[in-house]
Structure 1
Amino acid sequence: MRAIALTLAAALLSGTAFAQTAPVPAPAEPKVFVSVDEASALVSSLKGLNVKNAADETVGEIEDFVIAGNSFASYILSVGGFLGMGTHYVAVSPSALAVTWNATDKKWNARINATKEQLKAAQQFKYEGRFAK
């Protein structure tokens, strides 16, 4: 009887040992190629796009885009100024700007829930340091 118990204990322990030494699967390789769907927009199509508010007034223009790590972090909008003089740049969250495709006009539209005065009063983004043009 004691021999059966020892044999059973040895079998259980060896099963546990095998379970602990099972190989860990390698992490999946990151995707290299992706497909681009029709709902996507090219940055080159959006740069220079006028930004309008709810009153259909032009309040700024998409000047640039900020990428942080591998994520789209913000739009840089230019507000006011004339021929680059007196222009105020602000960084806005991607969720603050609604960018849509108008199939009838075949063009992109951008809308923000802010007035030109609110954008001019926002913290200024400066093209300096590592962001210098």
Structure 2
Amino acid sequence: MKQFKYPLSAALLAMAVMSGSLWAQGAPQTISVKRVDVVQLATGYRASKISGSSVYNGNKDIIGTIDDLIIGPTDPLPYLVLSVGGFLGMGTHLVAVPFSSIQIVDKQIRLPGATRDSLKALPEFKYTPE
């Protein structure tokens, strides 16, 4: 049995080298890494904690609540899904606003210049069925 072991191994190695599969390389990865101050980042706001939070305008009037935080499949920028109007979940109007449009002032999430009526005038956001 031993006499066939080494020629078989040599033949398999030769076939792998000739076929090029031994030298094949995967596509280069293009992951960009950014150094983050993890201590400072840990003091930020988590999506799980801001869901359900009230959203205020510049006059400190409650204009809606945060229903969700969503990132689109082609756009890596986050959006807030706000629930506007309604009572106890009935008759609410969902809208999406860019996360970059909010401000956090004194631990309040603010959407300057917005009113309930201006948010209700936006196109309604609807979740796709899973």
Return the TM-score normalized by structure 1.
0.62
Q: Partners in 2 of 1:27 and 1:83 — Cα distance?
A: 48
Residue 98 of structure 1: how far off its partner (Å): 1.0
1:40 matched to which residue of 2?
Answer: 44
- Match of 1:65, SS? strand
Please show how residues 35-114 of structure 1 align to structure 2 within 5 Å: 36=38, 37-38=40-41, 39-69=43-73, 71-100=76-105, 102=106, 108-112=107-111, 113-114=113-114
- Match of 2:48, SS? helix
- Match of 1:122, SS? coil
Residue 34 of structure 1: how far off its partner (Å): 5.9
Residue 29 of structure 1: how far off its partner (Å): 5.8
Q: Partners in 2 of 1:29 and 1:71 — Cα distance?
A: 15
Return the TM-score normalized by structure 2.
0.63
Runs (5+) with no aligned partner, structure 2: 1-27
Residue 27 of structure 1: how far off its partner (Å): 6.1
1:128 matched to which residue of 2?
Answer: 128
Runs (5+) with no aligned partner, structure 1: 1-25, 103-107
Q: Partners in 2 of 1:117 and 1:28 — Cα distance?
A: 44
Please show how residues 3-22 of structure 1 align to structure 2 within 5 Å: none
Residue 68 of structure 1: how far off its partner (Å): 2.7
Residues matched between the structures, number: 99
Residue 30 of structure 1: how far off its partner (Å): 5.3
Q: Partners in 2 of 1:60 and 1:78 — Cα distance?
A: 5
Residue 88 of structure 1: how far off its partner (Å): 0.2
- Match of 1:95, SS? helix
**Larger Rg belongs to:** 1
State the percentage of identical aligned residues.
Answer: 36
Residue 95 of structure 1: how far off its partner (Å): 1.8
Q: Partners in 1 of 2:127 and 2:29 — Cα distance?
A: 40
1:116 aligns with 2:116: yes
- Match of 1:71, SS? coil
